Amino acid sequence: MKYVISNIIGFCVIFLMSLPASIASEFKSEILREAAAKNGYKVPSKVNPKFDGNKSSLGKLFFESEKLSFNASTSCSNCHLDEFSSTDGLPIAIGIGGHGKGLERVKGGGAIVPRNALPLWGRASPDFTTFFWDGKVEEKDGKVISQFGSTTPELDAVTTAISLPFVEIREMVSDDEYVKSQLMTETTGSAESIQKELVQRVINEINKGTELANAFDISVQSLEFVHVATSIKHFFADKFRLRESKFSRFFEGQSTLSLAEIDGGLIFYGKGKCSNCHSGPHFSDFKFHTIVMPQFGFGKNGFGVDYGRFNSTFDARDQYRFRTPPLHNVEKTEPYGHSGSVDSLRQIIEMHYDPLKYINTEAMNGRERRELFSIMARVDNEQPIGSALTGLELTNLEKFLNALSF
């Protein structure tokens, strides 16, 4: 009897002690849910598009086929691997000529693509409007703007984005003598030539012409590259659809987050000012901003320089600006930044408000410091700079970001 009474008293004491914490947690949870809703968060079921199973199966085949590399032996799946949450785990991608996975791929040689490979989560969603680090494919006012110019009126942004690597030098096309003399032109005609050849391979080498034509209810003779790309889009909508996360379940009131995760979320939507850019269902405003971070490798513009968005618009105001990266599964897609120069999630968070902590200017030469200064000069008044965070706050913010994983 004594034992039972002491146990009841014990439980009551524990219950009473935990009461204030749970009240605080509920209060903060409501603020967090409201802030997420105000910043455009939607649960996966409201973001994911429908897909056709047949087209998705074909798309998977094309995504993994090295035969769709014009004059080399690489496939989309070489740089978008399950092991690295649909990225390649490397700072900058290795395109044609690369072998193996992860570090193996670096040792194996191959052509360097000077940007960090992006994950593919949620890419087929209709509200995913801007693709690649510099937004070289984007949907604006109902029109798709891309390197293909006006030759792609039929395609949506994601299908256009999927079509690009197949005709990009170093990514899936080798700049051999034939390519240099016949295809490296300033027109989109070269891309069309390559795409026609790839469609023939789908028919004659992969032997999926009839299936692909049936899936689109057309004749084999009418097949175009758009059908290949659209199949891959369906595969994206299937395989890389957003899944339920700890946060999405919390948002719908189906489960709770820990107090640390809630505090991290309040920093994300509050003094960290993360949500000023990482907003919407994909945690990206699909706009372009400058984060001061070191450049890794040769850079898109050479000699350690990458002008980012400027390469797409040629507008000087866009120098060093990059598209806000989405954050689903962000904990699994290290390294970070457009050139993968930042190793850890914690470090990339800090780079947003305290970049100089990780940049040793004394070890840089004058040209490099000038480059750094140029980047800093592009941080304009419109750009939010979050408050400096303590160690505990950083840990909580990391925990919140981990709750976005699935």
Partner 1 sequence: MVFMCVCFFLLGTLWDVPLRAVARQFYQKDYGNHVFNCDNAMREHFIAKSQLSSQPSPSAVSFLQSAEVALIDCHEYDKFRKRLISLGLTENDLAIMGLKAIEEKQTDLSNLVREHEIRY
Distances (CA, A) of 112 to 106, 170, 305, 321, 403: 9, 7, 15, 21, 33
User: Is residue 247 a contact residue for partner 1 (CB under 8 A)?
Assistant: no
Rank residues 272 and 294 by Cβ distance to partner 1 and give the closer one.
Answer: 272
CA dihedral 52, 54, 58, 63 (to 10 degrees): 30
Exposed / middle / buried, residue 83 (Cβ in 10 Å: 0-12, 13-18, 19+): exposed
Q: Determine, following the binding rule CB under 8 A, whether residue 35 of this chain makes contact with partner 1.
A: yes
d(CA 84, CA 105): 13
Residue 349 CB, nearest approach to partner 1 (Å): 15
Contact with partner 1 (CB under 8 A) among 273, 282, 323, 352: 273
- Does 190 bind partner 1 (CB under 8 A)? Our answer is no
Does residue 33 bind partner 1 (CB under 8 A)?
no
217 binds partner 1 (CB under 8 A): no
- Cβ count within 10 A of residue 224: 15
Please pick, from the candidates 18, 45, 219, 387, the single residue that binds partner 1 as defined by CB under 8 A.
387
Looking at the Cβ atoms of 274 and 372, the one nearer to partner 1 is: 274
Interaction between residue 382 and partner 1 (CB under 8 A): yes
Q: Which is nearer to partner 1, 177 or 382 (CB)?
A: 382
Q: Is 271 in the site for partner 1 (CB under 8 A)?
A: yes
Minimum CB–partner distance for residue 273 and partner 1 (Å): 5
- Please state the separation of Cα 230 from the chain's center in Å: 20
- As a residue count, the chain comes to 406
Closest contact distance (angstroms) between CB of 380 and partner 1 is 11
- Is residue 101 part of the contact set for partner 1 (CB under 8 A)? no
Report 275-294 residues binding partner 1 (CB under 8 A): 275-276, 279
Is residue 368 left, alpha or beta, with left meaning phi > 0 and alpha meaning psi from -120 to 50?
Answer: alpha
Residue 269: CB minimum distance to partner 1, A: 5
Site for partner 1 contains 28 (CB under 8 A): yes
SS3 36: helix
DSSP 195-258: HHHHHHHHHHTS--HHHHHHHHTS-GGG--HHHHHHHHHHHHHHHT-----HHHHHHTTSS---
Report the 10 Å Cβ neighbour count for 362: 6
Is residue 51 close enough to count as binding partner 1 by CB under 8 A?
no
Shortest Cβ distance from residue 85 to partner 1 (Å)?
28
Indicate the residue among 49 and 270 with the shorter CB distance to partner 1: 270
Binds partner 1 by CB under 8 A, chosen from 38, 143, 196, 367: 38
> Of 222 and 387, which has the nearer Cβ to partner 1?
387
Q: Is 249 in the site for partner 1 (CB under 8 A)?
A: no
Kindly tell me which residue out of 58, 237, 266, 345 binds partner 1, with binding defined by CB under 8 A: 266
Q: How far apart are CA 281 and CA 42, in angstroms?
A: 5
Place of tokens 């509200």: 127
How far apart are alpha carbons 163 and 81 in whole angstroms? 19
Q: Is 18 in the site for partner 1 (CB under 8 A)?
A: no
* Residue type present at position 94: I
**Residues at the site binding partner 1, with contacts judged by CB under 8 A:** 24, 28, 31, 35, 38-39, 266, 269-273, 275-276, 279, 382, 384, 387, 390
